[in-house]
Amino acid sequence: MRRLPVYILLDTSESMIGSAVQSVRSGLSLLLNTLRTDPHALETAWISIITFDSDARQVVPLTELADVQIPELQVRPGTSLGKALGVLRNCIQGEVVTTTAQRRGDYRPLVFLLTDGQATDDWRQVKQAVDRLTQPKVANFYSIGCGDDVDFDMLSEVSDATFRLADMTPETLRKLFIWLTASVRSASVGVGMTESYNGLDMTKRPAEVTSVRKGEFRPWQGRPLQVFLKAWCIATKQPYLMRYRFDREAEVYLPVESHKLSDGGASSGFVDVPDVPVQLLMGSPPCAHCENPYMLFCGCGSIMCLPRILPREATCPRCRTTGALSEVDPDFNVRTSAG
């Protein structure tokens, strides 16, 4: 039996934390449940999921549609596009049966890449990974970039077609996954009829998704549009991640929301990143654990939440130093995490 391998590459960088990653999980479950009602898809489609942040990993090996389990998606800093493409190449090499004189192999894999940021790894590594996927071409590759940070020219190097979702909301992500589902479904019908197939069903493309040609969209060149600061709750001593959005007109960072971080491996990655002057931060989002409205910088480099009624002194949840609040240095530069 010839299979149609479908590889889904998901950006799990920190900017996906919260509703985006939840919407992507619901999108995946919609895709699987819908495809499972289709006899053509059940017969031919095999699914694999690769996630990437500071590293890349295959979280679902190429699996028969009926048996795919949706993985938990862990969010970490970084957007290692080059590593993701490298993992994809290795997986295709190891999992997809090629056609030889003796046997008919699988159909050419269908790849969907979903990302919301610029690659943070070395461009040479990305270039090399692109070359290994395209010379010779080993997959039909479609990229969907979400938001304003995406380097579409880089994506178009590896993609047969590149698309942009301007606004990433639960509703637009749901529509995106309905479209991808329809495309896999028509591809799984198409492969049965002819040797070639069209990867994406353009007739079902939602209005929110636009096609982007090379050189058409310039990514934002100024300060990062989002920054993420790791902080510690003074009450629970648990870590959380504060999200800020850059206001291009006012040129300051506005607080958006906080997200709890699990105390395990996921939160330990949020280090080693560029600096943002604290003067540009307009306050802080409430603590994700106790809703304290203020933040305080400790000399050890940690940020902690503070209650509305300021205590006279505070003990840092990280270094256990107790200090009077008047010692706060307003010019302190905060270490942020790069998404």
Which positions lie near Zn ion, rule CB under 5 A? Answer: 233, 235, 287, 289-290, 292, 298, 300, 302, 305, 316, 318-319
| Dihedral angle, C-alpha 8, 13, 17, 20, nearest 10 ° | -40
- Minimum CB distance to Zn ion, residue 238 (Å): 8
- Minimum CB distance to Zn ion, residue 187 (Å): 49
Rg of the chain over CA atoms, in angstroms? 22
In which residue are the tokens 């001593």 written? 237
Q: Is the Cβ–Cβ distance between 115 and 145 less than 8 Å?
A: yes
**What is the longest distance spanned by two Cα atoms in the chain?**
80
- Minimum CB distance to Zn ion, residue 241 (Å): 13
Nearer residue to Zn ion within complex by CB, 67 or 331? 331
3-state secondary structure 270-333: CCCCCEEEHHHECCCCCCCCCCCCEEEECCCCCEEEECCCCCCEEECCCCCCEEEHHHCCCCCE
- Minimum CB distance to Zn ion, residue 321 (Å): 5
Nearer residue to Zn ion within complex by CB, 9 or 298? 298
Nearer residue to Zn ion within complex by CB, 115 or 302? 302
- Minimum CB distance to Zn ion, residue 300 (Å): 3
Nearer residue to Zn ion within complex by CB, 60 or 303? 303
> DSSP secondary structure string, 14-79?
GGGTTHHHHHHHHHHHHHHHHHTT-HHHHHHEEEEEEEESSSEEEEEEEEEGGG--PPP---BS--
Nearer residue to Zn ion within complex by CB, 30 or 290? 290
Indicate the DSSP class of residue 142. Answer: E
- Minimum CB distance to Zn ion, residue 57 (Å): 32
- Minimum CB distance to Zn ion, residue 263 (Å): 14
Task: Give the H/E segment covering residue 245.
Answer: strand 239-247
Nearer residue to Zn ion within complex by CB, 184 or 287? 287
Nearer residue to Zn ion within complex by CB, 250 or 310? 310
Query: Distance (Å, rounded) from C-alpha 95 to C-alpha 61?
Result: 8
Smallest CA-to-CA distance from 286 within 311, 249, 260 is with 260
Q: Is the Cβ–Cβ distance between 163 and 142 less than 8 Å?
A: yes
Nearer residue to Zn ion within complex by CB, 10 or 304? 304
- Minimum CB distance to Zn ion, residue 297 (Å): 9
Phi (first) and psi of residue 254, to 5 degrees: -100, 135
Q: Is the Cβ–Cβ distance between 224 and 252 less than 8 Å?
A: no
